[in-house]
Amino acid sequence: MNRIATLLIVCIAFVACNDKSKFEISGKFEHAKPQAKVYLYGINKASETPLDSTVLSNKGEFKFSRSTPEVDFFRVKIDNSEYMLIAKNGDVINLEADLEDKNLAYKLSGAAEADKLEELNKNKNQYVAKLAALQAQFEENVANQPHNRDAIANQMRPALIKENEGLVNYILKFAMDNTTSLAGFYAINSLNPSDYEKEMIAYSEKIKSNFNKNEAVTDFLVRMAKLKSVQIGQLAPDFTMNTIDGKTVKLSDLRGKYVLLDFWASWCQPCRQENPNVVKVYNKYKDRKFTILGVSLDKDPVAWKQAVIADGLTWTHASELKDFESPTVRMYQVEAIPSSFILDPAGKIIAKNLRAEELDKFLEKTLR
């Protein structure tokens, strides 16, 4: 038998032995406790489901074999360390990590998604390492010159901003370059949606039909569709809500004026700190076709009313008293507060999340 024929037989045998109905994750942990327990979790949206567990060998090795309907996310956990993976049936993935690594760095290989995730982690970690080094340098400099803290911060801030922007730009590019890979989806979801709304919406348009049966992706696409409806230039979704004095207010009834739609809560310290600025702009512009509708995320009506009085908030206030589960809060995709929208007299969104001087300058320019 010639050499080529032998190689073909070996390749055929290998493919035949590779069970396409399951995926396999095996690996090795350095500095692991003998017989330590390792867990495999499935990830369903924001929750985790325990799937399997095993005990490390004396060499720190482990192995899992499972099946999955579609390519999906999984997490391997041991002690206080955890490692994200992406797998589909037929994959044979290898994971290696040192449990003493404080950054939880790990290596993946053996399958296309594993290779992509390894590429992402490797490049992200380079930026993270640079940011950590800058932070350590800052703390050392401050320890040596505590009286110069502000000057040191001003001096080092450009370098920190540069590295952070480099990290964000890399993540965005990786996501857009890998729209057929869940690694790209994992990458873009490491960013704050409120800071990168346009980019995440653009990404969602690229992956609409790529992962039809993945619940996490489906949930993301639904959220992005809602987020798209509250972008600058869109007509603000209408709603009717009970006011603080037991009446009702309809957002569309405020048309004809510029409206600051302000989402806040009595328990939100950043909101309470911003309230004096909101009071200032209200008093300055209320006679120039400008008003405010405060939407509280409070559940306790007493605490809500006390905060309105204490902070001197004299405009209209309304709430569904359901925290972040409020239908209106969810419709406007508010995930953190304070959060705000400025509407023009036609009800169109013309600005978002402006605060303090930035808010004042925008209103001064707009309400001429």
Homologous superfamily assigned to 234-366: Glutaredoxin (3.40.30.10)
The total number of residues written for the chain in this structure: 368
3-state secondary structure of 244: coil
> Is the domain covering 23-106 a CATH 3.40.50.1360 domain?
no
**Residue 291 backbone dihedrals phi, psi, to 5 degrees:** -145, 175
Cα separations in angstroms, 334 against 45, 185, 205, 352: 18, 21, 21, 11
Residue 232, pLDDT score:
93
CB count within 10 Å of CB 157 equals 12
**Domain segments of the chain as ranges:** 23-106, 120-229, 234-366
Residue 213, pLDDT score:
82
User: What is the Cα–Cα distance from 234 to 306, expressed in whole angstroms?
Assistant: 34
Residue 209, pLDDT score:
84
Instruction: Name the residue with tokens 């978002």.
Output: 352
Residue 288, pLDDT score:
93
* pLDDT per 10-residue tile (average), the chain, 368 residues: 45 50 95 93 84 94 94 93 94 95 90 94 93 93 93 94 95 96 95 88 92 87 91 95 95 97 97 97 96 97 97 97 96 93 97 94 93
Question: Quick one: tokens of 362?
Answer: 């925008």
Residue 192, pLDDT score:
87
What element of type H or E holds 258? strand 258-264
